[in-house]
């Protein structure tokens, strides 16, 4: 499929096969996205892969991946104690650090799932893109049966590419955009950053079921740590990826020539490059309505 056919498929009402690649322990919004992917009727969650991250919540990328792997299993057990969705450990370092492909159970699982699928697989990547790019390096043929929906980078007219998911493995991001795989790029500023929630919005989760209570709990901890200010808001941007698949009317998507992430860490453009999909804007109200309704529908 080319990106224009994929855009038409995204807008179609059929149920989509997805893989979620997530650095779940890094923040609190990955947990929302994971639960959303599992419970939404419009998505068939084939697997969850743990992405690496390195910040004040991990001692290195490997530690971040392992913590994310354990957090994935914790969230799934709250959503469904009998879940059977496979969870895979991901990269223990990055392509940028290692200088080449990072083999992992996650990369191999992505390859196997995509190659054995009779329809396109949407890989929702909401962390560093190491696992996904490594899978493409190990088997470039999978690009013909997948679309990578990546929350990475900033808007195309920005001179700042210091976005967390991208800088965690900048080289992997460069390789992804050069691989020819169909990509839907969902930038942070000033697009998915509109997916903010205040304390009242988070309070709506409390009391519905175990996973809603857990999401409320981990977010309440952040709220309290920030001083419980009346003006407190939090961006839950990772729910944007599943929201686009579940309710594409929430998203304004354009077809554009694929840009380049230069070594100077800015965008460069060439109108002759292959096309990609670009999220130009997203409707906050539609996203939260869909995510909250899906989460509320779950019965313990």
Position 300 pLDDT exceeds 90: no
Q: Is the dihedral of CA 74, 113, 181, 256 positive or negative?
A: negative
Q: Is the dihedral of CA 105, 51, 243, 73 positive or negative?
A: positive
Instruction: Give strand pairing partners of 251.
Output: 282
Position 51 pLDDT exceeds 90: yes
pLDDT at 190: 87
For a pLDDT cut of 90, what percent of the chain falls above it?
Answer: 98
CB contact at 8 A, 129 and 24 = no
Instruction: For CATH 3.90.245.10, list the domain ranges present in the chain.
Output: 3-194+236-295
Q: Indicate the pTM of the whole model.
A: 0.97
Please tell me the CATH code under which domain 3-194+236-295 is placed.
Answer: 3.90.245.10
Q: Of all residues in the chain, what percent are helix, strand and coil, respectively (each to 5)?
A: 45, 20, 35
pLDDT category, 29, cuts 50, 70, 90? very high
CB contact at 8 A, 57 and 25 = yes
Position 1 pLDDT exceeds 90: no
Tens of pLDDT along 206-249?
Answer: 999 999 999 999 999 999 999 999 999 999 999 999 999 999 99
Cα separation, 22 vs 34, in Å, equals: 8
Position 50 pLDDT exceeds 90: yes
Tens of pLDDT along 179-202?
Answer: 999 999 999 998 999 999 999 999
N-terminal to C-terminal alpha carbon distance within the chain:
39
pLDDT category, 299, cuts 50, 70, 90? confident
Cα separation, 99 vs 118, in Å, equals: 33
CB contact at 8 A, 90 and 104 = yes
Tens of pLDDT along 92-143?
Answer: 999 999 999 999 999 999 999 999 999 999 999 999 999 999 999 999 999 9
Rg of the Cα atoms in the chain: 18
Rounded average pLDDT over 245-270: 97
pLDDT at 27: 95
Question: CB-based contacts of 81: which residues, under 8 Å, 6+ apart?
Answer: none
pLDDT category, 178, cuts 50, 70, 90? very high
Q: Residue 135: enclosing H or E segment and its boundaries?
A: helix 130-138
Q: Measured in whole angstroms, how far is the alpha carbon of residue 252 from the centre of its chain?
A: 18
Q: What average pLDDT is seen over the chain?
A: 97
Cα separation, 71 vs 61, in Å, equals: 15
Nearest to 253 by CA among 261, 245, 265, 262: 245
């Amino acid at each position: 499929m080319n990106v224009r056919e994929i855009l038409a498929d995204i807008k179609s009402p059929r149920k989509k096969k997805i893989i979620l690649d997530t650095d779940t322990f890094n923040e609190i919004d990955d947990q929302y996205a994971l639960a959303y992917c599992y419970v939404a009727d419009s998505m068939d969650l084939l697997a969850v892969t743990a992405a690496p991250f390195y910040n004040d919540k991990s001692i290195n990328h490997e530690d971040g991946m392992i913590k994310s792997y354990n957090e994935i299993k914790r969230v799934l057990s709250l959503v469904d104690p009998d879940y059977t969705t496979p969870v895979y450990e991901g990269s223990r370092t990055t392509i940028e650090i290692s200088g080449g492909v990072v083999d992992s159970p996650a990369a191999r699982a992505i390859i196997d799932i995509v190659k054995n699928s009779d329809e396109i697989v949407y890989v929702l990547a909401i962390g560093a893109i190491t696992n996904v790019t490594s899978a493409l390096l190990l088997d470039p043929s999978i690009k013909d049966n997948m679309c990578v929906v990546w929350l990475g980078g900033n808007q195309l007219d920005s001179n700042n590419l210091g976005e967390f998911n991208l800088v965690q493995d900048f080289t992997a991001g460069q390789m992804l955009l050069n691989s020819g795989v169909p990509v839907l790029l969902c930038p942070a500023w000033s697009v998915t950053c509109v997916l903010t929630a205040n304390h009242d919005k988070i309070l709506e989760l409390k009391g519905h079921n175990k996973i809603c209570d857990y999401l409320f709990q981990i977010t309440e901890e952040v709220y309290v740590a920030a001083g419980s200010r009346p003006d407190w808001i939090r961006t839950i941007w990772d729910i944007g990826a599943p929201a686009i698949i579940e309710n594409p009317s929430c998203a304004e998507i354009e077809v554009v020539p694929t840009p380049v992430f230069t070594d100077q860490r800015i965008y460069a453009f060439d109108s002759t490059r292959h096309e990609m999909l670009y999220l130009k804007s997203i409707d906050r109200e539609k996203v939260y309505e869909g995510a909250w309704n899906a989460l509320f529908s779950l019965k313990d």
